[in-house]
């Protein structure tokens, strides 16, 4: 018997260690950082974590599935006519808010019109999370209780992504704590402390297994992670790189999720920013920077690859074999082809232009992340990589507002900064000539034509084709350098979803269906 017991113990040691995190039963305690949400206002959200709570309280006409494609939700069907100029959404039958009152087309229209008015308010300090609606919707009206008619400002498939805004009662669009139609309702809320959610008995689908969600709020990621370590919360939502130390193990899971924060190195194309108006110089910069090393050493791997503004986990991503990889020798070769040589032997490349000798000296501006110094550390790694191939780089740290002014004025060589990308996968704001987000003064007739073609794509296939062409041209032109998208982490001891794709702003996605 003793020998057999020893054999069993040895066999157990040889078995692979598997994750034994429990499945959630009837309740879940979630932790997140919240320091700005004083009222429940789904149409005017201010914090990412709170939006994940809103996502199970409020619903939208359209939802985005695991593949990143629009699917019907409150809307049962939709049709488009007039070459994408008019979209007609038909609501499901018998929809109600949590108090049992009917949810009608008028509620959808009023919710959207409130968002449009906020987006167009030139005096507003903040035009809101859903401000891009103003570029997509010309008008929205109701035809009876179940039909919503949208006149498109841009006649294209991307409009469907914009129809993911929350729907609240028409009479409550400007009120705090409006009713929702989702699987959960708010049963208690104390700002900066907690929010308690319980099951919506009037939900139009079958009741969730998880009857209660208790969200605990923390002032910092440090406090949040400490609470998780000591078991005061089952689950923690965080974007802190400190979360990278928590790997999936015996009784805990670490689930990565994609954010919409694209980290970039902006390169000024103006002739006054010589030599960045040269394609070969921009290509050399791309080859010289080891992005994978930055991701692993600075961001602890909490990133999603992005050779172009399209993330590698998107259904629209086009995997190009010619994508740039770290190659300092190729960078030196390209610079040499452009006539850059080390004339005086000091390690910095030079080039004779007319009667003057130009030095390969560039200014790199960076603003710091309020949570940690990852971006400043990244800037210094970029400096080291570029100086290894002959550049001389001066790194200057500024405030966010100071860097924003530099970008708007075009008075920079390079800027390390991030962009919060919209749910609509349209990158024209930063690539189309003369657009507001095109701070680098990139001008390409071909790119502008491709952006316009994308915005005329009524069908999914055409939308994907034009996005692919945009990615190919981006790779050829190197307007700027995409480093990666930031990723966050869900640390949890209780598995609560079977959703294949977890995205920022919807971190509780799938909890309503778990255990069915």
Question: In Å, how far are 216, 408, 477 from 177, measured between CA atoms?
Answer: 18, 37, 48
Give helix 279-288 / helix 328-337 axis angle, nearest 10°.
160
Q: Is residue 240 part of a domain?
A: yes
Please answer whether residues 359 and 394 qualify as being in contact, where contact means their C-beta atoms are separated by less than 8 angstroms: no
pLDDT at 274: 84
Same domain as 75, residue 199: no
Number of structural domains, the chain? Answer: 3
Q: Does one domain contain both 342 and 196?
A: no
Residue 430 sits in a domain whose CATH number is 3.10.105.10
**Does the pLDDT of residue 271 top 90, yes or no?**
no
Instruction: Using pLDDT thresholds of 50, 70 and 90, give the confidence band for residue 373.
Output: confident
85: helix, strand or coil: coil
Domain boundary among 163, 181, 199: 181
Query: Could you tell me if 307 and 438 lie in one domain?
Result: yes
Determine how many CB atoms are found less than 10 A away from the CB of residue 244: 16
Residue 92 predicted with pLDDT over 90: yes
Is residue 199 pLDDT above 60, yes or no?
yes
Please indicate, yes or no, if residue 48 is contained in any of the structural domains: no
Question: Is the Cβ–Cβ distance between 266 and 480 less than 8 Å?
Answer: yes
Neighbours of 109 (CB within 10 A): 20
Confidence of residue 372 (pLDDT cuts 50, 70, 90): low
Q: Identify whether residues 452 and 306 lie together within a single domain.
A: yes
Do residues 177 and 201 share a domain? Answer: no
- Asked if residue 488 lies in contact with residue 302, where contact means CB atoms within 8 angstroms, the answer is yes
- Let me know whether 143 and 272 are in one domain: no
* Rg, C-alpha atoms of the chain: 26
Query: According to the model, what pLDDT value does residue 247 have?
Result: 77
Identify the domain containing residue 400 by its residue range.
Answer: 259-488
97 domain-assigned:
yes
Identify whether 38 is part of a domain: no
Whether the per-residue pLDDT at 2 is higher than 70: the answer is no
Q: If you write DSSP's letter for every residue of 375-419 in order, what string do you get?
A: HHHHHHHHHHHHHTTT-EEEEEEE-HHHHHHHHHHT--SEEEEEE
Handedness of CA 319, 321, 325, 331 (dihedral sign): negative
- pLDDT score recorded for residue 370: 64
- pLDDT, residue 141, reads 98
Torsion sign (Cα): 156, 158, 160, 166: negative
User: 371: pLDDT confidence band, cut at 50, 70 and 90?
Assistant: low
The enclosing H or E element of 215 equals strand 212-218
Reported as a single tens digit per residue, the pLDDT across 26-72 is 999 999 999 999 999 999 999 999 999 999 999 999 999 999 999 99
Residues 205 and 304 occupy one common structural domain:
no
Domain assignment present for residue 285? The answer is yes
Is 188 within a domain? yes
Give φ, ψ of 221 to 5 degrees.
-65, -35
Check which CATH number belongs to the domain holding 204 and give it: 3.40.190.10
Write out pLDDT tens, residues 434-483: 898 999 999 999 999 999 999 999 999 999 999 999 999 999 999 999 99
Q: What is the DSSP letter of 15?
A: S
Structure confidence at residue 243 (pLDDT):
84
Residues 371 and 470 placed together within one structural domain of the fold: yes
pLDDT digits (tens, 9 = 90+) for 316-343: 999 987 679 999 999 999 999 999 999 9
Mark which of 149, 181, 213 sits at the end of a domain.
Answer: 181
pTM of the model: 0.92
- Is 336 a member of any domain? yes
77 and 142 fall within a common domain:
yes
β-bridge partners, 489: 238, 256
Residue that finishes a domain, picked among 181, 196, 212: 181
Residue 308 and residue 193 share a domain? no
**Coil, strand or helix at 64:** strand
With a cut of 50, say whether residue 3 has pLDDT above it. Answer: no
Q: What's the whole-number average pLDDT of the chain?
A: 92
User: Is 53 among the domain residues?
Assistant: no
SS (H, E, C) 9-77: HHHHHHCCCCCCCEECCCEEEEEEECCCCCCCCCCCCCCHHHHHHHCCCCCCCEEECCCCCEEECCEEE
Residues 156 and 222 in one domain: no
How many Å apart are CA 207 and CA 199, to the nearest integer?
7
Contact 421, 431 (CB under 8 A): no
Query: Same structural domain for residues 85 and 156?
Result: yes
């Amino acid at each position: 018997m003793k020998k057999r017991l020893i054999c069993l113990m040895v066999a157990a040691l040889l078995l692979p260690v598997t994750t034994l995190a429990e499945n959630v039963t009837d309740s879940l305690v979630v932790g997140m950082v919240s320091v700005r949400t004083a009222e429940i206002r789904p149409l005017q959200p201010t914090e990412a974590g709170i939006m994940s709570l809103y996502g199970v309280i409020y619903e939208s006409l359209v939802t985005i599935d695991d593949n990143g494609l629009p699917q019907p939700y409150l809307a049962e069907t939709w049709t488009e006519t007039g070459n994408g100029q008019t979209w007609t959404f038909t609501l499901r039958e018998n929809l109600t808010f949590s108090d049992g009152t009917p949810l009608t087309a008028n509620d959808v229209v009023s919710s959207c019109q409130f968002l449009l008015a906020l987006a167009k308010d030139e005096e507003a300090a903040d035009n809101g999370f859903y401000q891009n609606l103003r570029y997509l919707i010309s008008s929205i009206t109701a035809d009876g209780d179940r039909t919503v008619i949208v006149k498109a400002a841009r006649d294209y498939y991307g409009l469907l992504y914009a129809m993911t805004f929350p729907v609240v009662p028409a009479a409550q669009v400007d009120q705090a704590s409006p009713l929702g139609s989702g699987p959960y309702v708010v049963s208690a809320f104390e700002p900066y402390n907690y929010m308690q959610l319980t099951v919506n008995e009037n939900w139009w689908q079958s009741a969730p297994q998880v009857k209660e969600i208790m969200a605990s709020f923390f002032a910092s990621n440090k406090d949040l992670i400490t609470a998780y370590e000591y078991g005061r919360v089952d689950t923690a939502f965080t974007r802190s790189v400190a979360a990278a130390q928590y790997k999936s193990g015996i009784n805990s899971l670490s689930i990565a999720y994609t954010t919409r924060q694209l980290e970039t190195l902006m390169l000024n194309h103006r002739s006054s920013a010589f030599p960045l108006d040269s394609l070969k110089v921009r290509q050399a910069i791309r080859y010289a920077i080891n992005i994978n090393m930055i991701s692993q050493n600075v961001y602890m791997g909490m990133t999603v690859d992005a050779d172009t503004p399209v993330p590698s986990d998107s259904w629209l991503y086009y995997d190009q074999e010619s994508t740039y990889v770290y190659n300092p020798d190729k960078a030196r070769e390209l610079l040499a082809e452009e006539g850059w040589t080390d004339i005086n032997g000091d390690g910095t490349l030079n080039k004779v232009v007319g009667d003057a000798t130009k030095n390969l000296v560039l200014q790199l501006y960076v603003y710091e992340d309020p949570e940690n110094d990852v971006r400043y550390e990244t800037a210094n790694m970029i400096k080291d990589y570029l100086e290894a191939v002959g550049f001389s780089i001066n790194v200057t740290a500024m405030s966010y507002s100071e860097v924003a002014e530099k970008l708007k004025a075009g008075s920079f060589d390079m800027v390390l900064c991030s962009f919060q990308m919209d749910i609509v996968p349209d990158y024209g704001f930063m690539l189309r000539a003369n657009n507001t987000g095109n701070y680098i003064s990139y001008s390409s007739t071909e790119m502008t034509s491709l952006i316009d073609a994308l915005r005329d794509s009524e069908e999914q296939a055409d939308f994907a084709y034009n996005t692919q062409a945009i990615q190919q041209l981006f790779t050829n032109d190197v307007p700027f350098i995409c480093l990666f998208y930031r990723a966050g982490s869900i640390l949890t001891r209780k598995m609560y979803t079977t959703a294949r794709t977890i995205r920022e702003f919807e971190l509780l996605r799938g909890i309503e269906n778990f255990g069915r």
